[in-house]
Structure 1
Amino acid sequence: MTAGPLQRDIKGSASLQAPHRFAIRVYYEDTDFSGVVYHASYLRFLERGRTEFLRALGIGHRSIFAGADGESLHFVVRAMSIEFIKPALMDDSLWVETSIETLGGASVEMSQAILRDAEPPLIKAKVRIGMASQGKARRIPPLILNKLKGEASPP
């Protein structure tokens, strides 16, 4: 994939340099009959990590869905790849790390990992999200784009 004029790699951006971390505890409901985290549960963990990452940047789902400018927007997952490296177990305390890899005018590619203690990642994921309104793709509004870039919003 080639980067277009509106796409730029912001991995080195000062405000987004360190990945966002979100704590997760593994409950019985997240596991299969043997106490190992069921593979689909990782999708929920990753979703929570992305949601909290966006919230930390000042991008709340409720506020964009309400559509301050009159258009109700929401994020959609366009693509996802997951590498299952090592299983998590019932009652584990985990971290979901989320960072932006590439930011374009209409989509964001995020890198995510699920970690336990100081171990190497249990799960690695790449997620491409986009914006949509009424079932149609939309460009990311400038206010949200600026927050994703880590820039202060204009007064």
Structure 2
Amino acid sequence: MTHRFPVRVYYEDTDFGGIVYYANYLKFIERGRSEWVREMGIDQLAMKRDDGVVFAVRRVEADYHAPAVYDDELVVTTTVDTMTGARLIVRQTVERGDDVLFSALVTLVAINDAGGVARLPAAFRRNIH
């Protein structure tokens, strides 16, 4: 399953050099993951309320391949790489047309209210497969 999320580059996304500021790619992929989960029908507020579980980013391996600039139309793609009982690893890219500008391998963990490791809720695991 591949999720695609469109992003337009606004002036506020750029740096002094007129290109997308490097940290904003992390924001773009966060939005992509949030919309992916939403489109699966998972309500993260309900997951927190009902299951006491939230997601936390544990690790990001990122590569910057080429710059994006003001007014570019980009697409964030998200695909599942690996899933265990409490961990999810996703591959994400930010693309402009056929060009990959940014790629990342993101490790997410499920944590409980006390900050300890928790199992991914069953509804979430069902929607991944």
TM-score of Structure 1 vs Structure 2, range by shorter chain: over 0.9
- 140-149 or 24-33: bigger deviation: 140-149
Q: Tell me which of 84, 90, 112 is aligned to 2:70.
A: 90
Determine whether 1:110 maps to 2:90: yes
Q: Give the structure with the larger strand fraction.
A: 2
Aligned positions, number: 128
Partner of 2:18: 35
- In structure 2, C-alpha distance between the alignment counterparts of 1:62 and 1:122, rounded to whole Å: 32
**The 10-residue stretch of structure 1 (133-142 or 94-103) with the greater mean CA deviation from structure 2:** 133-142
Instruction: Note the C-alpha offset of 1:72.
Output: 2.1
TM-score (ref. length: structure 2): 0.94
How much has 1:34 moved relative to structure 2?
2.0
Instruction: Name 1:122's counterpart in structure 2.
Output: 101
The 3-state SS of whatever aligns with 1:136 is coil
| TM superposition outliers: structure 1 runs of 4+ over 2 Å | none
| Structure 1 unaligned regions, length at least 5 | 1-15, 150-155
Residue 137 (1) aligns with residue 120 (2): no
The alpha carbon displacement at 1:146 in A equals 0.8
Q: Which residue of 2 aligns with 1:6?
A: none
What is the aligned-residue identity percentage? Answer: 38
**Deviations, residues 100-145 of structure 1 (Å, cap 9, x unaligned):** 01111110110000000122x1001000111111211101122221
Question: TM-score by structure 1 length?
Answer: 0.79
AA of the residue aligned to 2:112: S
Superposed displacement of residue 32, structure 1: 0.3
Rg larger for: 1
In the other structure, the counterpart of 2:40 is: 57
CA shift at 1:66, angstroms? 2.0
How far apart, in 2, do the equivalents of 1:59 and 1:148 lie? 11
